[in-house]
Structure 1
Amino acid sequence: MNIQLNTKRALVTASTGGIGFAIAKGLAEAGAAVIINGRSEGSVSAAIARLVVAVPGANVTGVAADLSTSEGVAIVLGEVSGVDILVNNAGIYGPQDFFETSDEVWDNYWQTNVMSGVRLSRALLPSMVEKGWGRVVFVASESARNIPADMIHYGVSKTAQLALARGLAKRVAGSGVTVNSVLPGPTLSDGVADMMQDEVARTGKSLESVAKDFILEHRPSSIIQRAATVEEVANMIVYVCSQQASATTGAALRVDGGVVDDIV
């Protein structure tokens, strides 16, 4: 399949590393002009430099802003225009017992994981509808359907993303704009790799081997029985952003390695 996005402009939030950077790289390889986003000027500049090396000739710009606030979203919206593809990848996660999770933590997860996408979609979708073409993707999680008992606050925010994406798809029905969610499962992102470094050092095993052991113990329903790579997740998202995916909208597309035990 030859995906060509040469005339498209894409904003990928939280794209200085991990899944977000892999998405930005995949879209750039398909010819899209890509806007990198991160919280600091330093991380954004470093990601742009990496991407230009990885994809020679890529059209890459960046904007630094914390999307957990309306002010941060306003900074992004003040610096970008003509966006055809919006990938809402900004998000936070972390385990915490429900009975010890404060209102402040709940609000931080809601603002970061849900409202960042609400605000950006509200601002950028109308122009896509006017042009008759656009793609909006929410990077959710298998935790949206398989709520983790030790991260209920996170799971709730990810379930909300599925509802948001489905509702927006219906709101822009017939416009040529699609809105979808992609649900990664356990993935060897930068954060996961950092979390496992102590175990890698202790056992002398490779990162991939330690991640596989983790999957088998904590996600035994996994069918691939390993962690996905960030590129594997990005591949699905690049496809969803393509012209070839024009009949896919309002969908929750799993890249979870079969962790969610469901035939749908």
Structure 2
Amino acid sequence: MLESPVFQVGTPPLQRAEGEGRVTIKARDGLSVLDTLYQYGCGKIRIPKAYGNWLEAVLINTSGGLTGGDRMAWSATAAANTHLAITTQACERIYRSTGGAARVATTLSVETGARLDWLPQETIVFDGSELERTIDVDMARDAIFLGLEVVILGREAHGEDAVSAMISDRWRVRRDGELIHAEAARLDAHDMPARANSALLHGARAYGTLCYIAKNAERRVEHLKALIADHPTAGVSRIGEKIVLRATGRSGYHLRKIIMPAIAALSGAGAVPKLWSL
């Protein structure tokens, strides 16, 4: 008599979001046009109609957000004498993790005479979330790079401040192979004394970094300082041909009032991406 098979019922593996998107542009007849486009998984890229000599790419995460174990990879190349502006369809959301961190890796290349504006909308982190994010930029000596990352700790309207969120952010920008900008920021869970410290967040719910690297940086810095003169939670510094603006805000809306005029002043389009205002 045959024995009945024994089936062991275990916990099914959780579904994870994986996405990748790559975009490359080239110069043609004095305009920046699409060269290659690759999409995989929940990573999508859309190219809206442009009304200038630049090309805009909109990044979309169709999974609706990220949690522990999810992976996203974005890469973009602005070929010689082109201008690529990159933004996101909406704010990215990092939800509570049941184990591990959500990982987002961005790789950008800006070739000779080109410009790349990396201007995603804010990242909103929720209680219990974990995020590991890296940005690697390789630019030519005469290229221009404008990069932004903004983090919002919870939803203010819901009374959240994401005290148990963990964030690791790493930037590396190289110019002709030489490291010109490097930073590593880490926000630990439940470390409220550090967040409340006047040298760090000082109780702010939102913070952001704007980095501009170009040969005309010296001519831009005084204008930026004038733009933030009425905002004591923002500061601008210049080292050679690099400008860094850092700011905090009691809310995402408050921080936008500081960041958006700076973006408009530095962006090649002279304004923030249209999706920021929709």
Higher helix share: 1
User: Which TM-score band (shorter chain)?
Assistant: 0.3 to 0.5
TM-score (norm 1): 0.33
Higher relative contact order (CA 8 A, sep 6+): 1
Larger Rg: 2
- Give the TM-score normalised by the residue count of structure 2: 0.32
